[in-house]
Amino acid sequence: MKYLIDSNIIIYYLNGSKDAKKFIDTNYTQSCISLITYYEVLNFDFSPKDEELVKDFLKKFTILPLSEDIIEQSLKNRKRRKIKMADNFILSTAQTYNLQIVTKNVKDFIYFCSNLVEPF
């Protein structure tokens, strides 16, 4: 794996963004998501039918679970600088697995790493 797709990119994809679709379709085999992204995306109010479709889409990715290593990394990050918990878990997942974060919210992560991809 090379890329960890942030929740906002998945949301753009689901909302029909051509740029998000192009990035994911081109890089799908090299991409994964965090369990936190799975949760954040499914936290939206979908109809039962749409929720099942979104779940099926998300399950096509490798979903990286939280682990003790990720929690330890998130604690180190939090000591360095304040960061929202969900963003920290996504960041820590990328750091633990040495992945590039694909996001539209570069500002959320730039202090901690330069290994970011803003696809559009």
Give the fold, CATH level 3, of 3-115. Rossmann fold (3.40.50)
Specify the pLDDT at position 64. 98
The separation between the first and the last C-alpha atoms of the chain, rounded to the nearest angstrom, is 21
Give the domain ranges of the chain: 3-115
Task: Please give the structure tokens belonging to residue 15.
Answer: 């909302």
Which amino acid, one-letter code, is at 12?
Answer: Y
Torsion angles phi and psi, residue 20, rounded to 5:
-65, -40
Question: Residue 1's pLDDT band (boundaries 50, 70, 90)?
Answer: confident
Per-residue pLDDT reduced to its tens digit, 11-63 = 999 999 999 999 999 999 999 999 999 999 999 999 999 999 999 999 999 99
pTM: 0.94
Specify the pLDDT at position 103. 97
Specify the pLDDT at position 85. 96
